[in-house]
Structure formats: C-alpha cells, structure tokens
A and B are shown apart, each in its own frame.
Chain A
Amino acid sequence: MSAGLDQPAERAGLTGSAALTSEVAAYVARLARIELSAGELDRFAKQLGAVLEHASQVNALDTGDVEPTAHPLPLRNVLRKDEPRPSLERDAVLAEAPASEDGCFKVPRILAEER
C-alpha cells in the first residue's frame, strides 16, 4: 500500500468538467462492481453529470479566506479507552453468512487480483 497520492479519478476525467461521458460512467460502475446496460449507462451519465455540475458551482466561489473543513462536527480527539468488550458469538455471526467452513467465512474464489 504505497502512500502515493495520485488521483485516478482526475485521470478518468471525473473532476473539473461537468460533462460526464458514458465511458466514465462505465468506469465508475466497474469500480463499484455494478453491471449496467448501455441505456442505463447513458441515463446515469446524465444524472451524475447533473450532480457534478451542481457541486461545481461551489468551485466558482472565492474560498481563499475560508478554513478547510475536515469534518462537519466541531469535534476533535474522540477517543475510547483500550478496554476489551465482548465480541459476538461466532455461530451467530457465521449463520448470517451465505457460506462458512471451519469457523471461517467461505467466499468464492478470487479471480482477478491479489492485492
């Protein structure tokens, strides 16, 4: 996990221009593992474009004198003591999973990548 701070979203053209192509919508859908038809891609590209355009109005404001907001709540250092609390019953947890084996969650084999 490198600390590289490059933003692929910028490369994909997700920032700046409000016009959003269905190609970009397809990229976003793929990242979210959502399968969309060509018609849906077109429709969502328009809708997402409208959202971005709305948000881009903020960019028109001069915010030179405004402190960046890290969080909407005026809170810092919300911490808890390092004290254990009971965990859940494993059987109850695994009962919620589609499949389990040997006390573990059982998931389909991972095809694409090893992270």
Chain B
Amino acid sequence: MTGDGAGDQVSGGESQVSGAGDQVSGGESYGDFEPVIGLEVHCELRTRTKLFCGCPNSFGDAPNTNVCPVCLGLPGSLPVLNAKAVELAMRIGTALHCDIRPSSFHRKNYFYPDMPKDYQVSQYDEPINVGGWLELPDGSRVGIVRAHIEEDTGKTTHAGGTGRIHGSSYSLVDYNRAGVPLVEIVSEPDIRSAAQARLYAAELRAILVATGASDGRMEEGSMRVDANVSVRRRGASELGTRCEVKNLNSLRSLTRAIDYEVRRQVGIIEKGGAVAQETRHFDEAQGATVAMRSKEEAFDYRYFPEPDLVPLAPDAAWQSEVAASLGPMPAERRSRVSELIGARGGTAGDGATSASQIATVVELGLDGLVEAAVTSGVDPGLALARAANEAAAGGDAARGLDPAGFTALLKLEAARKLSATQAKAVLAEMLLHGGDPATIARAKGFEVMDEGELATVVRQVVDESPGEWHRYLEGEEKLAQFFVGKVMKATRGRADGKAVIAALDRLRS
C-alpha cells in the first residue's frame, strides 16, 4: 500500500497495446508448472470529496491542503459516508455482475504514519458487492470474489538516505490522499498467465472508466494492482503456497512482476525447496520481486466494527436506478465499432492492429469520435488510426474533442487538402486549444502543394542522392521511404507521402 505513490513513467501510449495481448516474450512457458494468479485492484473513485469528509478528492494539490479534523483523525470528529462513493461502488458491482448486499464498516488497526488515525476504515466480512465475473476479450472469464469500499491512506516519502525505507533518516507525510474513497476488487484465483493478468487488468480498467467510477490513470495511482501468485504442477488440483506481489502500478510492471515471480517459485520447487508465504515488492529497476520485511504480528489488524458508522443497505429502488444509468460496457462498445467498420468496408490496417486500436479508443472513451467520422463517410482505417494514436496522445483533452471537428479534419486529410503530417499538427492544436480544423490549417499556413511544386522538390532530392536513386531504380523498393523522408524534411511536412511516391514513380518510368 505504501510506496505506491512512486508512480511510473508509462504514458498514454501504454494503453494502446492493452487490448492486443501481452508483451511477455517467449509465450510464457514454465515447463511442467502452471501459474495460479488472483488480482486485487484498488480503484480510487472519482468523487468530488473524500469518503467520510468534505475535503476535496484531488490529485496533485500542494501537500496537506485537503485535510480536516475527520481525515486527520482528530478527537471528537465523526465520519459521514459519501453517497456518491456508494453509488460508484454500486456501479462497479453492477458492471461486474455482483450481488449488492447490506454491508458494514470495520476498523483495520495498524501503526504506520500513512494513516493519522492509526486505523483504516474498510468493509470486512460484509462487503457491498459479492460474487460476479468479468469476461475478457479472448472469451475467458475471471470470477470476482468481492468489491468493497474502503478509504485510501496518505502518502509517505522517505527522505534522506536512499529514498527507500531502509536507510532513510525520516519520512514526510502528506494526508491529502488519506480518506479518498477506494473500491478494492478481488478476483478469484482464475488467472493462469501473466498475459491473462494483463488482459484482466486492462479490461477492468476499461470497465472502471466506462462506469464513471475511475479515471483509470495507473501512472497517477488511481488504479493499483497487487497480485497473488502461486504455482503448481500441471494437472494438480490443490493450490501452491502463494506470495503477494505489491506495488504494480502499470500494466507492464504487472506482466513483468508476475513472469518473474512465477519463474522464481518454479526455480525454488525444482531445486526441491518450498516457497515461503510472504509479501513481496516489485522493484522496477531490477525487474525483480523482493521480499518485504515484516513482523509476525504486523498482520494482526484487530478488525472491529466501526462504531461511528451505521450499516449501509441500498434499497431496490436505488439499485435499479444505478443499473439503469449504466451505459454500454467496453465489450459491447468494441463490437459496435467493429461492426460499423466492417459495414463500411473493412480497415486500412491488419486485423490485429485494428483490434488493438478499437480496444484503445473504447478504453479511452473515444469511440464516439470514430463512430461520428465513419458514419459521415471517413475511411474507417484513418478514423481509427487518428483516434487511437494522435487523439489518444492528447490524454483527457481527447474526450473533449468535438466529433464534428474531428470528422471535418479527417475529411480534409482524406481529400489530400492536408498531408498526414499537417493533419496531425492540426489535431494537436485542436487538442490543446480547440477550434475549427480549416481555420487552424490556414493560420498555420498549411496548403496543398501543387503537383508542379512537389515534382520540383522530388527532382532536387533525387539529384542530391544519386546512389540511393540508382539502387531504387535497381528495384530496392524500401528506398521510397528514404525519399519520402527527404521530401518531408525539405517541405516541412507539407507534402503528402502518397503523392511523393506517385511522383517518384513518374520519374522512374
């Protein structure tokens, strides 16, 4: 739980591969062994205020500016549950096919300065959401044990020494995050590979975003994953001893950590040893899981009912209101985009690229842009590529793009009134400041290069590189890209790649 504020450097690009399988090489072969994996995902809820007080739930503010007597645990203060947090927890439970049950809150007691109260309020034996399942894009299903409400902890930074706990001389604590509402989603140990774990986490993230419960930003710690990993001989029915791997704050860390941990456990068993049950921490730099030191009684949390909070029991009316307000989930939206694209005559790219792009646009909530563009006649391949790559790179701003403007831009590009490079530049400007694509293009001085002007530049470039031109004439086709690059540089992106190749062809014949 602590150390999760460290953050990783994975940007929006991370999500672009999420739908397309894993990045673990070599097909994850563990010989005679089979991994058994369950994931615990902590999701920060997108409320305006904290779980039990009116302090803002806001990432990135100056330290300790969003604190009050309740979240600082000052004597005499009393918590009151945030209705929106309950609603979002119910949205998550409904999307994961859980039963919504009467629930209650407990205190989990421990001594660690990330909670000023010395306890964390969490749902224990009566969670709000019980049972359920999540279907992955590959058709496999992972069971959900529970999805309960709890409060987040503060953020500790270890100062002096190495920045890690051991060797630091003191710690600095920021309680802005203490009391921020979380839902912890616990899966059944149904996952059998690092790749499947990644698919699960990516699909869950897409669902959390689609329900409006989360912004899904792993790099900001909005979604954090712990993995329970064990191995057993193939065909065995009993489970092996498991280790809990913490601090997985990107999909990449998740796959790397699981792959490492499975190999480590297999290695121990193959040498005749026994895996010790312990909590391990994933060290990004080393690419290894490392045992965390813990005292035996550190796990005696002395749970007891939180006397300051009364039971929660959403009635049937509230539950159906929540269910009715849920929009279509990612799986349904992906098939809708696929069908639309299929109906418009396929895609420009290959199937895998297109599936991955569809997954990305749905995950980021950009499928509306693609639908608008394709419905008004834009080439599906172009619409998908611009949405999944250039628009997606704009982060949050992408969701604010005007579908009509996006469509108009792609039409300019398709009509060759803008080169691909120019279109991308216009899109970047639209993401930053909004505006009409044609106006932006004019302001940037973008205009079509007429054929004569382009031919002159191509001629020049060819004259400058006689060696390459000779090889191109001899049939080395890939050199076309070399010339395209030269022309792009000479024209600062004003030329159109396809037009350049056509001009080269004309010169060659």
Contact = CB atoms under 8 A, between A and B. Distances in A.
On whether the two chains bind one another, the answer is yes
Interface of A: 1-3, 5, 8-9, 12, 27, 30-31, 33, 70-71, 73, 75-88, 90, 93-94, 101-110, 112-115
27 contacts: A1-B1, A1-B40, A2-B228, A3-B186, A12-B300, A31-B297, A70-B104, A70-B305, A71-B307, A71-B309, A76-B311, A76-B313, A77-B314, A81-B83, A82-B47, A88-B69, A93-B64, A94-B64, A104-B64, A104-B172, A105-B174, A107-B172, A112-B298, A113-B294, A113-B298, A114-B292, A114-B293
B218 to A, nearest CB: 18
A79 B112 contact: no
B68 A87 contact: yes
B332 interface: no
Interface in B4-26: none
Contacts of B170: 106-109
Contact of A115 (B160, B171, B298, B311): B298
B312 A76 contact: yes
A31 B119 CA distance: 13
A109 B171 contact: yes
A52 B20 CA distance: 58
Contact of A76 (B126, B169, B307, B310): B310
Interface size class of B (residues with CB under 8 A): 35 or more
Contacts, number: 181
A105 B116 CA distance: 10
- The residue in B145, B150, B156 that gathers the most chain A C-beta atoms within 10 A of its C-beta is B156
Contacts of A101: 159, 172
A99 B297 CA distance: 28
A29 B210 CA distance: 47
B507 interface: no
A84 B293 contact: no
A87 B66 contact: yes
Interface stretch (B48-56, B345-353, B384-392, B437-445): B48-56
Given A8-B297, A78-B81, A114-B293, A84 B55 contact: yes
B140 interface: no
Nearest to B159: A101
Contacts of B244: 2
Report whether over half of chain A's contact residues are helix, strand or loop; otherwise say mixed: loop
A27 B297 contact: yes
A79 B125 contact: no
A47 B350 CA distance: 76
A102 B65 CA distance: 12
Contacts of A83: 48-49, 54
B302 A109 contact: no
A82 B85 contact: yes
Nearest to B110: A115
Nearest to A33: B111
B299 interface: yes
B205 to A, nearest CB: 19
Given A83-B54, A107-B113, A110-B156, 20 more contacts: A1-B150, A5-B125, A30-B297, A31-B302, A71-B309, A71-B310, A78-B309, A81-B83, A82-B84, A84-B56, A87-B55, A88-B67, A102-B63, A104-B157, A104-B174, A106-B171, A109-B165, A109-B168, A112-B293, A115-B114
